[in-house]
A and B are shown apart, each in its own frame.
Chain A
């Protein structure tokens, strides 16, 4: 299900009230012209799963934090920040997830030259 970024947070809160109380995964896909963030939530009691997709403009990459709604989003959001360079707004700035990664290039973006030697900061 596609959703606008501005409606994401209220929608998630609403879904949680409806019983989708389990966040499975937050991930993203870089389609070059746009970046799609995917939220997978699940209703454990009814065994239903739902994918919420948010399209983001690569020049304006940010998402609202889901931390007040799902605590599980903590590490996933940090992963997004680190791997896709999607800024997560509304949460306390924390260090990136993996060690020794300067976070200037975003490895899971398609623009990342994966086979080229990576210039480390050291």
Chain B
């Protein structure tokens, strides 16, 4: 047995940012993977401690730059909880719609990079990017920004949805539904794709719980936990939301969960438009939070596209005393060495692809 130690990254085509791992291989079989992180560490937790509450959403959004709105939302939620601010009824729906659109956009990008990781010549990647861009245009309509929205305010949003947003969004969703069928055709009818996905990188349910993985990775292992269902926030309780669960815990299950989630998000947005109450969705127009927080310690769980983000806030007047983020990708990446033991070298890349990493979120 001859062990070769290979260094992958920090600059490598498929590490999704600056991520380095040291892989020990015997021939093509992986003996161990040691992830090295921290190349994108910006100390957001410390920064938040030293800034006013409303100065922080931009920092938060740069954590998971693929789904910035979800990050900004979870931050505002924890501040709202600390201050005891209620979210307006209409804003609950508007936030849900925007977040679900953001989820679709994020999953589309993931799909693209996955195709790339398992060796397709950028076709899936370009398709994914193109369709994601259509959603980004929608979000731009709603928020005025393409990527870093910073559109959440205490109790609501910076501004209500534009008048023709619903029409545009529904049209886009119809288009996306057709595209999802295209993706399924392109990939699932392809025996080589299925061969690369099925039975590879299996994570059993008990291991998944033990390793603390979250989001689609957890649900792909057959553990039914989705914050939107189990601990609903915003209008998720009112809507008929069904989490996507798969049992096998392999690459294909992780792929399928995200595909089903996209379909479910499309359905949710449509339903939310139907049930949206009238009223005002704009939040408080304040620059400086002076009132004393009601709760010294508040926690919030939000189902971000990559998994559950858990925030722990120790509040002081005006700024946080301590702010702790549990990044979904951080803990999913921690499971990498467990999943990839005994797999082929080529499959590590596929497993990395299905774990859906964003290094900004991992490193904080």
- A interface with B by C-beta (< 8 Å): 21-25, 27, 29-30, 38, 40, 44, 47, 49, 51, 70-72, 74-75, 83, 97-101, 107-108, 112, 114-115
Contact = CB atoms under 8 A, between A and B. Distances in A.
B223 A44 contact: yes
Contact of B310 (A40, A44, A72, A98): A40
Nearest to B212: A72
B314 interface: yes
B330 interface: yes
A40 B211 contact: no
B65 interface: no
Contact of A75 (B224, B324, B334): B334
B45 interface: yes
A97 B37 CA distance: 7
Interface in B274-313: 299, 301, 308, 310, 312
Contacts of A47: 230-231
B39 A99 contact: yes
A97 B299 contact: no
B158 to A, nearest CB: 29
B336 to A, nearest CB: 11
A98 B223 contact: no
Chain B at the A interface: mostly helix, strand, loop or mixed? Answer: mixed
A27 B37 contact: no
A107 B43 contact: yes
Contact of B363 (A29, A72, A98): A98
Interface of B: 20, 36-39, 41, 43, 45-46, 49-50, 207, 209-212, 223-225, 230-231, 299, 301, 308, 310, 312, 314, 321-322, 324, 326, 330-331, 334, 338, 363
Contacts of B326: 24-25, 27, 40
Contacts of A24: 212, 301, 308, 310, 326
A35 to B, nearest CB: 11
B36 A21 contact: no
Nearest to A96: B38
A9 B231 CA distance: 28
A72 B299 contact: no
A23 B37 CA distance: 21
Contacts of A70: 210, 212
Contacts of B210: 21, 70-72
Contacts of B45: 83, 108
A51 B299 contact: yes
Contacts of B207: 71
Contact of B36 (A74, A75, A99, A112): A99
